[in-house]
Each structure stands twice: as C-alpha cells, then as structure tokens.
Structure 1
Amino acid sequence: MDPISSPDPRLSPPSSPQSSASPSPASSPSTYARSIGSSPVLPGVDPDQYDGPSSTARQVLPTCAPTPLKYGCEDHWSWNKNDKSHEVRLYGPKQRIAHFHPNWSNGTAGVRGTRILNGGRFYWEINVSQRIFGTSMMFGIGTKKARLHVDAFVNMLGEEESSWGLSHKGLLWHGGKHRQYVKCFRENIATTIGLYFDGVSGTLSYYKDNLCLGVAFSGLNDVTEPLYPVVCSTAAKTEMSLGVLKRDFVNLQDRCRATILKQLTHEEQIDQLCLPIRIKQFISEGLENFQEDVALSVNNQMSHW
C-alpha cells in the first residue's frame, strides 16, 4: 500500500538545487530550462503560513494574474469517463468528482479532462479532499501520450515530455526532472488548487487557496499535440472535484451571447427577444449548458461546506 507517514526518499529534492535547476540546453521543444519558474512570496502574507514558493525556487520570472479570467465566462467540461485509470471512479454533477483507489492503492491512477487547452485561456479549480498524503497527488496537463495508470508509486505527471505537473510535495515535474516550487502541502487538510493555462503566452500558473503561486511552466505554445487537464494520485480513497471552470471569450459574438444568457433562466425567454432567428439559434446553443451551470454552482458550494 502507498505509505502514509513517511515520504518516499526518492522524492527528496537534490542536495544541490543549483544543479537540478540547470538541465542540459539540448532539451526540446519544451526546454526544461525555460519551462519551470515561480514568483516571490506575496506581500502581506506570513511566510510561516504561506504554502507558496520555497526559498530555493524564488526567481525573477513572470507572475500570474491575481484574479484569472475575471471577465471571462463559465466553461463546460468534465473528467473523461473513457480516458482514465480503472482505479478512478467518477460521480457527481456531470461526473466532475474523481475518486481514486476506492479500496486500496497499489499504484498510480489518473484521469484526463475533456477540455482541449491549446491556443486558449482557461482557468479551473480542483477541490482536494482532506485525505492528502502518500507518494504523490498531482495536478497538471498532458497530451494523449501521458499514461494514466502504472502499478507503482510514481510522479506520473511530468515523468516524460508529454506532461507537466505539480505534486502535493511542492515539486514541479516535467521530462522526468523535478525542482522545488512551493512548500509541501499540509497533510490531511483540504485545499483548492487553481490552474491557469494561457495558450497565447504558453504558460501554466498555479494557485493555492486563492493565492497566486506564480508561473510554473512556459513554452507550452510550442506544443502541437492537444493538451488536456490531468490529475493523478497514489493515495487510497482520495478525491478531487472540479470547482470553478472559466474560459476567455473566443470573440465579440461569444461575449455578447454570454451577457444575454446571464439574464435568462429558461429557453422560452429567447423567443421573446427582438432578434433575427439565426441569432436566437446561436443564443439557444449556449443555453443548453444552463442546467450544467446550476449543477456546477451547487457542487462548488458543497465542496466548501
């Protein structure tokens, strides 16, 4: 079974942070040297209570937005029931809750999201249950090449070039290499992890309980294969549920439709609008997610109880 009290010694950061932070420049196209970063501790936050970047990871690199996609709109995606480990059970509204290793754990299990990220701007939050322990619980992104199950306790996200991830040990992983990014998460205390993917600038940033941790990976706009949200866990009976889902607007038409939909509660109201039929049809296509928004809001409220 996955050890609970003692961390895997293989996960310990190298004794010389400088050496681990200086990989060979030959890496490509997602060069590790330019793919991992962090931001300083936020001003006004007690360093002893802050789970942000560790002293070995603080660098002068781009910081993430304090409120990602503040003027964006609700996004609509879930965990993929056809793209997961057999050790992952999905349930809840739109199957947005992932339960790992329901009986006991003898390996690492993961699940991919249905959202393709490339080229857009997306923000999503993962509400992690208080069962935070074990070898590795990870949050990140990956292509279809990233595996979702292995009969061993490993850091599966970032084990090779097709995925990027943050573990609950505070380590960033990509290309089989890691470095300290934040302090270890407090065990057995529920937390919310936010991920902001900017496909225009090619960066992935993390948030923890509404605190910006800084840009973690860059150069992601060079990835040509489809990228998806991915989570994985080695710990038995752990749970990760999707909370806030936001995206940037595609165009002005998309933004106008979202503004109209905020004022509607059911589809019959669309017929009362003084608009051309084709525009009404376009608005109606967006309203089909109305019940999904309601279920998502309830799910978000329950996750904070």
Structure 2
Amino acid sequence: MGEPPLRHGCDDHWSWDRRDCSHEVRLYGPFLQVAHFHPNWSSGTAGVRGTRVLNHGRYYWELRVSHRVFGTSMMFGVGTQHARLHVDAFKNLLGEDEHGWGLSHKGLLWHGGRWTHYTRPFQENESTTIGILFDGIAGTLTYYKDGACLGVAFRGLNEVREPLYPIVCSTAAKTEMTLITTKRDFVNLQDRCRAIILKYVRTRSDLQLLKLPKSIKEYLSETLTDTVQIFKPCNEYVHIV
C-alpha cells in the first residue's frame, strides 16, 4: 500500500459546515465530524460542504463511510460554492455541472455532467474508508480506498479560480460519513515551526502563559481548536466552552 499521503505534513483542523448543507443532513460530534444523511427517509439527494478552502495547498482527508452503502449515489470529492447541496431527485449531484468533481460509490467519476469509469463499485452494505488527496500545486485529485491508492482521478484543478471545498453527498437514507483524518502539507518553515510548538501547547489558555509577542500568539492560535461543540440538526447547535 505504501506510505500514507502527507505523512510528513501536520494535522489539519476543519469540519463540515453547519451553514452550508442540505436540510436533510444532520451534523454531530465535538467538531462536526459526523454527517448523517436523510435521518428518516430519503426523497432526494443531500450534501454538505467542508469549511476548508483547498486551493494552492496540499490536503488529505479520510472518510469512514457507514455500512449503509447503497442507493443511487453516494459521492465524495470537491466543489465550489456554486455546487448544489440538495435536490428533490435521486442523482449524481457532485459533478452534475462544471462546479463539482466527484466519485460515486458505483466507481464512476463525475464532472461537467459526464462520467467515466474509475474503479470497481463499492461493496454494498459494507463499511469502507475513503481517502482523498487534493494537490493544488499539481492540480490533481487522487482517491484511496481502505488504504489502497486508486490513482489520479482529476487533473487541472490548479486552474480553477474559485475557492474549492471538500463535499460529500448521498441519496441513501440513514447514511453516515465521518471525518477521521485531516492532514495538510506545510506552507513554509514558519508553518512547520508552528506545528511543532502546538504539539505541546494544546489550548488558548496554555498559549497565553507563553512570554511571546502578541502577533506570534495570534499566529499560533489560528489552528487551535479547543472549543467543544455539540451539534443538533444542520443550522441548529448548542455551543459549550
């Protein structure tokens, strides 16, 4: 299987966006890492966008997909703010137009309303782990399944001028996709140094104890996530500090 992507990078910190998802998506977990689709029954296709802007960097994330793998389309990939996140129809939503690039559980790649064969269909009703490597420098998107690289799926993403975000969507009722890994490459030496410091400084209160200039503390705090959130349905949440 080889080395995992971005093994020498650092942990990234992003989640599913409670303000940018279908009303048929429920978000759970301390940091919105669990997306639950169609909690009662399904009458269409629902999606959710991630909070991470991907352009110009290298990012890798993994999704644990529940054993409820079935239906018309479960999709994983990237898209712009113009990619639709809900439609009252069963369809391959991510990649229906030029605003999305997605892989369906049927093993098909979708972009611009067209599909191509990419890999074998996923085994239905078996949980699986999907890895996605976005390389904004080379402009490629590569998928992994249960640790095995499936090869480059899309090229030319470095030419996209609009912000790109992680997106998942599903037509299947009571499906869950959980973010279990989020990694990124270092931007520069300063970024690498920050990652080392934050291995030992985990909270903002700890950071304030350091005798450092205010500007450096602000830079260090940009990637801290010491706020706990318990979420109800999309767009409704309880905030606990």
TM-score w.r.t. structure 2 length?
A: 0.88
Is 1:254 the counterpart of 2:191 in the alignment? yes
Structure 1 residue 266 displacement after superposition: 4.9
Structure 2's unaligned 5+ residue stretches are 229-241
1:193 corresponds to? 130
Is the Cα contact below 8 Å between 2:55 and 2:136 reproduced in 1? yes
Which one scores higher on RCO, CA 8 angstroms, separation ≥ 6?
A: 2
The residue number in structure 2 matching 1:108 is: 45
Closer, same or farther: CA 269–77 of 1 in aligned 2, 3 Å: closer
Is the 2:208–2:217 Cα contact (8 Å) retained in structure 1?
Answer: no
1:289 Cα offset (Å): 2.1
CA distance in 2, matches of 1:120, 1:103: 38
CA contact (8 A) 2:13 2:223 kept: no
Identity of aligned residues (%): 63
Change (3 A) 1:266 1:183: same
Q: Which runs of 5+ in 1 are unaligned?
A: 1-41, 43-64, 293-305
Q: Which residue of 2 aligns with 1:85?
A: 22
Match of 2:100 among 163, 166, 169: 163
CA contact (8 A) 2:194 2:220 kept: no
CA shift for structure 1 position 211: 0.8
2:165 to 211, 220, 228: 228
Q: CA–CA distance in 2 between the matches of 1:232 and 1:276?
A: 44
**What are the residue-to-residue correspondences of 1:123-138 with 2, within 5 Å?**
123-138=60-75
Query: Number of aligned pairs?
Result: 228
Change (3 A) 1:287 1:119: closer
Q: Secondary structure at the match of 1:95?
A: coil
1:202 is aligned to: 139
Distance (whole Å) between structure 2 residues aligned to residue 239 and residue 272 of structure 1: 40
Q: Distance in 1 between matches of 2:20 and 2:205?
A: 36
SS of aligned partner of 1:192: strand
1:138-177 aligned within 5 A: 138-177=75-114
Letter in 2 for 1:80: D
Give TM-score scaled by structure 1 length: 0.70
Judge conservation of contact 2:135–2:141 (CA < 8 Å) in 1: yes
* Contact residue 132 and residue 190 of structure 1 kept, 8 A: yes
1:96 shift after superposition: 1.4
Equivalent position amino acid for 1:171 in 2: L
* Inter-partner Cα distance in structure 1 for 2:205 and 2:21: 38
Q: Which residue of 2 aligns with 1:18?
A: none
> In terms of Rg, which structure is larger?
1
- Answer yes or no: is the 8 Å Cα contact 1:107–1:152 preserved in 2: yes
CA deviations over 1:168-195 (Å, ceiling 9, x no partner): 0000111111111110100111111010
Q: Secondary structure at the match of 1:94?
A: coil
Contact 1:195 1:205 in 2 (8 A): yes
Alpha-carbon shift at residue 288 of structure 1 (Å): 3.1
Q: Which residue of 2 aligns with 1:71?
A: 8
From 25, 32, 35, the counterpart of 1:98: 35
Per-residue CA deviations over 1:59-82 (Å, capped at 9, x if unaligned) read: xxxxxx842111111111111111
8 Å CA contact 2:204, 2:221 repeated in 1: no
- Determine the C-alpha separation between the residues in 1 that align with 2:74 and 2:205: 45
Aligned pairs for 1:17-36 (under 5 A) are: none
Range that drifts further, 99-108 or 65-74: 65-74
Structure 1 position 268, deviation (Å): 5.8
- The one-letter code matched in structure 2 to 1:220 is L
